[in-house]
Amino acid sequence: MNDRIRSPQVRLVGSDGQQIGIVNIQDALRMAQDLDLDLVEVAPQANPPVCRIMDYGKFKYERDVRQKEARKRQTRVEVKEMKLRPKIDPHDYGTKKGHIERFLKAGNRVKITIMFRGREMAHTELGRKLLDRLTEDLRELATVETFPKLDGRNMTMVVAPIKRAPVKEPKEEPVAESAGAS
């Protein structure tokens, strides 16, 4: 900006967006000062660099507003976690599965952890069967993002909600009435 621009010549764009051309940096600075505006380098990698005459404070404010709007529109995907044991009761399994379904419908990814204790480590296939059963039960809602893997005494898997395209309703065409009656 202004005196910090080190290039001897710049491609100048006016305050109204009109191309002025390639000018010396001193001339560009003088033009900006005459309009009581700033000379801002907008494309430093170009040869010669592109500079624009503008109000830098207003430019910064508008850029910040655009970035804030972009952050608002961004969707944050949370990763929820559900912990299970390999010898889970059928009712408890149903309850945990219900929680996972609710998380997926809300658009969250779910990390499912099977915790092994003591001698259960000798039967990790029970945990794998449980995760396979859960994957099959959630087939309509989720896809497996990270396949089951054993990490110490825990087996983890991550499932993500399936992205569905919005359903469009068919348009009804107007019915043409006949003009003559027999």
181: helix, strand or coil: coil
Contact (Cβ atoms closer than 8 angstroms) between residue 156 and residue 146: yes
Interatomic CA distance for residues 128 and 103, integer angstroms: 22
If you compute the radius of gyration of the chain from its CA atoms, what whole number of angstroms results?
Answer: 31
What is the amino acid identity at position 7? S
CA–CA dist 156, 153 (Å, integer): 10
Q: Supply the pLDDT for residue 58.
A: 83
State how far the Cα of 135 lies from the Cα of 69, in Å rounded to an integer.
37
Q: Quick check: helix, strand or coil at residue 172? A: coil
pLDDT of 114 reads 92
60: helix, strand or coil = helix
Helices then strands, counting H and E runs in the chain, come out as 4, 8
Q: What tens digit of pLDDT does each residue of 74-124 get?
A: 777 778 899 999 888 999 999 999 999 999 888 889 999 999 998 888 888
162: number of Cβ within 10 Å: 12
Could you give the residue ranges of the DSSP H alpha helices within the chain? 25-34, 56-73, 90-105, 124-137
How sure is the predictor about 171, in pLDDT bands with cuts at 50, 70 and 90? low
Tell me: the pLDDT tens digits for 16-25?
878 888 888 8
Integer CA distances (angstroms), 119 to 131, 156, 171, in order: 19, 19, 62
Q: What angle do CA 41, 10, 55 make, to 5 degrees?
A: 40
Task: List domains and CATH numbers for the chain.
Answer: 2-72 (3.10.20.80), 79-161 (3.30.110.10)
- 136-170 confidence digits (pLDDT tens): 998 888 888 889 898 889 999 999 988 764 545 55
- Please tell me the predicted confidence (pLDDT) of residue 8: 83
Is residue 125 over pLDDT 60? yes
For residue 38, the tally of other CB atoms under 10 A from its CB is 20
